[in-house]
Amino acid sequence: MVSREEQRARVEAALAAHLLDHGLAQTSLRELARAAAVSDRMLLYYFADKAEVLGCAAQRIAADLAGHIGEAVGEGERLAPLALLERAGALVTRAEIRPYMRLWVQMIAAAGRGEAPFPAIAEAMLAGFLAWVEAHLAIDEAADRQAVAAMIVAAVDGLAIIDIGRGPDLAARAALAIPHLGRAL
Amino acid sequence: MVSREEQRARVEAALAAHLLDHGLAQTSLRELARAAAVSDRMLLYYFADKAEVLGCAAQRIAADLAGHIGEAVGEGERLAPLALLERAGALVTRAEIRPYMRLWVQMIAAAGRGEAPFPAIAEAMLAGFLAWVEAHLAIDEAADRQAVAAMIVAAVDGLAIIDIGRGPDLAARAALAIPHLGRAL
DNA sequence: ATATGAATGTAGCAACTGCTACATGGATTC
DNA sequence: GAATCCATGTAGCAGTTGCTACATTCATAT
């Protein structure tokens, strides 16, 4: 017999891996249980209900993603908007990050449908993204700092949409095209 | 008695309206049928299966959206990347367009989950967006034209994500911040 | 008027959903 | 050794799902 807390942690990790692999497609309690190699009965012993199951797994995923992203720009380093966008955009199609971004789009969509627990999760994750960008954004005080940060986050997230709809190749090329955005004819 | 074709058209319009209102949240055959004021039995008389029900409604929605977007930039008019992005970005939070964009994000997510019929629909819609942007994009031939277009589409779609996660206010401000993207400290 | 086929209603099946009641094993405590 | 409690298994309920079998009505053609 293993303590409930240990199992919870192990199951959480397995669920996170499963979500990253399969997205929010197969997320019935029975499928999640199979992915975590426990019975569905046990899932609801470790967690209160399905929302908590998904919520805990998503929280862990968010933390992992934050860790990955944190490495992209040095502590205290600050970049101009397009430079920061370029740096962040290059992450989206990297093999370690791609599953996170694809899942992120599905979570935001679930939040849009009002499906618990995703509204809260999406809001928290988005706030994290915005804070990270703002912290590394070099821009004069006259500009709406938060709005510029939001636009950068939007562009990065949009790359994930391109990735989903057309594959990573176009998404990667789009990211590389960021320096051309500022150029006129 | 009404001809099957007439009913199909009427039902399609009702379904499109319902999807724009409620997203992909309540899309069981019984709910869709209620929204269209027919019996679920009839839905599967007009359409082959649920995938065709959603597919036809989505196709109509895509056509409507294309119409709305078409008005944003004059026929034959061409703009520099950031200018085009600004023009398109301003649409996302406009009251008539907002429901379309929110639904679009949900469709892309469903496509990412492999849920029929959305992979095909999402691919077609995305191709339409890309073609529209490319057609209005003024940029020198040295640049990867398709990639720049993809980046613009990404940024616009990303605004919809901000809208979903944080509401239209920040999304609108982010769109207004586009001119600041090119500015350094 | 009768036959035919299209349009519609009623009822329900089988699979899956989240969740629960109940029983049982094994360890710990007294 | 008895009592207790945590951890786990079995079985199943009630609701929802996509879809279908079957019966019926109605319009039209002969």
Mean pLDDT of chain B: 94
A32-91 residues touching B, CB cutoff 8 A = 78, 80-83, 85
Q: What is the mean pLDDT of residues B4-11?
A: 88
Looking at residue B1, what is its pLDDT?
61
**Confidence class for position A185, pLDDT limits 50, 70, 90:** low
**Minimum CA–CA partner of B84 in chain A:** A181
**Confidence class for position B182, pLDDT limits 50, 70, 90:** confident
Q: What is the mean pLDDT of residues B135-140?
A: 93
With beta carbons less than 8 A apart as the criterion, state whether A85 and A157 touch: no
Share of chain A above pLDDT 70, in %: 98
Helix, strand, or coil (residue B42): helix
**Minimum CA–CA partner of B154 in chain A:** A158
Kindly determine whether residue B174 and residue A156, on different chains, have CB atoms separated by under 8 Å.
no
Kindly determine whether residue A162 and residue B177, on different chains, have CB atoms separated by under 8 Å.
no
Share of chain B above pLDDT 70, in %: 98
Residue-wise pLDDT tens digits, A122-137? 999 999 999 999 999 9
Kindly determine whether residue A153 and residue B162, on different chains, have CB atoms separated by under 8 Å.
yes
Burial of B145 (0-12, 13-18, 19+ CB in 10 A): middle
CA distance, residue A162 to nearest chain B CA (Å): 6
List chain B residues with CB under 8 Å of A175.
151
**Confidence class for position B67, pLDDT limits 50, 70, 90:** very high
How far in angstroms lies nucleotide D21's C1' from the CA of residue B99?
40
Residues 6+ apart with CB under 8 A from A41: A33
A153 touches chain B (CB under 8 A): yes
Kindly determine whether residue A158 and residue B162, on different chains, have CB atoms separated by under 8 Å.
no
Report whether pLDDT(A4) > 80: no
* Long-range CB contact pairs, B92-99, < 8 A, 24+: B92/B156, B92/B159, B92/B160, B92/B163, B92/B171, B92/B175, B93/B159, B93/B163, B93/B168, B93/B171, B93/B172, B93/B175, B96/B68, B97/B65, B97/B68, B97/B69, B98/B163, B98/B168, B99/B20, B99/B21
Residues 6+ apart with CB under 8 A from B146: A170, A173, B130, B134
pTM (2 decimals)? 0.94
Considering only CA atoms, which of B25, B15, B18 is closest in space to residue B47? B15
Dist. CA B155–CA B87, nearest whole Å: 12
